[in-house]
Amino acid sequence: MTERFLRYAVIDTQSDPASPTCPSTAKQKNLGALLARELQEMGIHDAHLDKHGYVYATIPANTDKHVPVICFCSHMDTSPDCTGKDVKPQIVRNYRGGDIVLPADPTQIIRAAEHAALKDQIGNDIITTDGTTLLGADNKAGLAEIMDAAQFLIDNPQVRHGEIKILFTPDEEIGRGVDKADLKKLGADFAYTIDGETAGNIEDETFSADAATITIEGVSTHPGFAKGKMEHAIKIAAAIIDRLPKDTCSPETTEGKHGFLHPIGITGALENATVSLIVRDFTDAGLKEKEALLEGIVKAVMKDFPRSTYRLKVKQQYRNMKQVIDRHPEIIDNAMEAIRRTGLTPVKSSIRGGTDGSRLSFMGLPCPNIFAGQHAFHSRLEWVSVQDMEKATQTIVYLAMVWEERA
Ligand SMILES: [Zn+2]
């Protein structure tokens, strides 16, 4: 497991949001080609890298039962937020607790006080960087875990399972991970992304997301002759922002199941101004409530500017994948059972964001997210433990078995 993970981690696969191509960076194909070749060498004959940078592979069924086709999915790119060039992984074997100082930059310290998950890693082998790059355990841990599980299933034909599909995607970190995914070709009934954080976790919920745009038209006059006439669009926009809830309903004041209204852009001049916001909640009703709150604020502000006008436009971005996944409770039940069989206690949680899985779910492939073990991702303090990665591999293997047993 360690060797496999390190082999993938040192390949630079950073994606680039400014690039229009797919994959956004050609170097992602270096890893894709390696993965396809390794799958071929395992004896998975249809494994291949396509021209868009996706890897597809099939582990044939070895049972007579009619088992749904399950897909395991991870992404090959790493975040543009932190460099992924010249990654030099370090292994802290048999971690004894305390802070981990990264050798090439001693100002980079994984502090036990700030990384609560470290306390569950005593005795484990923790992989970090040297402090100058990210590690890319997000999501190369997932790749390594799926690859190891594939190897195990091929080597152990006595372990019964239905047809298993493998999908490795580029460009997840820039929100384009499923743009060119060919679900027809994939032919899976259900999927799991292996891209979650803490061992034992399974995530079946994402935010539901809308974008809101307020366009304001004020009243412009020469500033020297403006008394009683001018209605300044920038000041209207500022008044709206100022009246947004401060102690609730914002990203910096909420967690767990609470959503928010969040301004992400403001542009304007005297006559026109535009405020862009994102709206997040776990339910459609919660989104509606926040949008009504926003409209109420805008209307109240506009009362002070009687000759100005506004338009509020709301656009759907994505929806909570739970709406789709709940129609197939066996997806989560089987995953919980698989996690239990590894000796971990399954924990169901929700993601305060969107995932490739939420998009796949609404494209017709229900897809919750299972832990890969990665922590502090998108940063130089990123780490993962070998033991957690092994638990994820076991979860994948048990999951294949549980689907077969229950078919
Ligand atoms: Zn990820």
Which sign does the torsion angle of CA 153, 157, 161, 167 carry? positive
Mean pLDDT of 220-234: 96
Over residues 88-140, the pLDDT tens digits come to 999 999 999 999 999 999 999 999 999 999 999 999 999 999 999 999 999 99
276 alpha carbon to ligand 1 midpoint, in Å?
A: 26
Mean pLDDT of 322-334: 96
Predicted local distance difference test score (pLDDT) of residue 162:
98
Mean pLDDT of 140-158: 98
| Catalytic pick among 12, 38, 77, 173 | 77
pTM above 0.75, yes or no: yes
Predicted local distance difference test score (pLDDT) of residue 356:
87
Residues 6+ apart with CB under 8 A from 357: 73, 191, 192, 193, 195, 206, 321, 367, 368, 369
184 alpha carbon to ligand 1 midpoint, in Å?
A: 24
399 alpha carbon to ligand 1 midpoint, in Å?
A: 21
350 alpha carbon to ligand 1 midpoint, in Å?
A: 15
Q: What is the rounded average pLDDT for all residues in the chain?
A: 97
Residue 77 is among the residues annotated as catalytic for this protein: yes
Closest alpha carbon to 402 in 77, 118, 63, 40: 63
Predicted local distance difference test score (pLDDT) of residue 175:
87
Residue 172 is among the residues annotated as catalytic for this protein: yes
| Catalytic pick among 12, 172, 210, 388 | 172
220 alpha carbon to ligand 1 midpoint, in Å?
A: 48
Mean pLDDT of 52-67: 98
Closest alpha carbon to 275 in 215, 217, 211, 209: 215
190 alpha carbon to ligand 1 midpoint, in Å?
A: 19
Over residues 249-267, the pLDDT tens digits come to 999 999 999 999 999 999 9
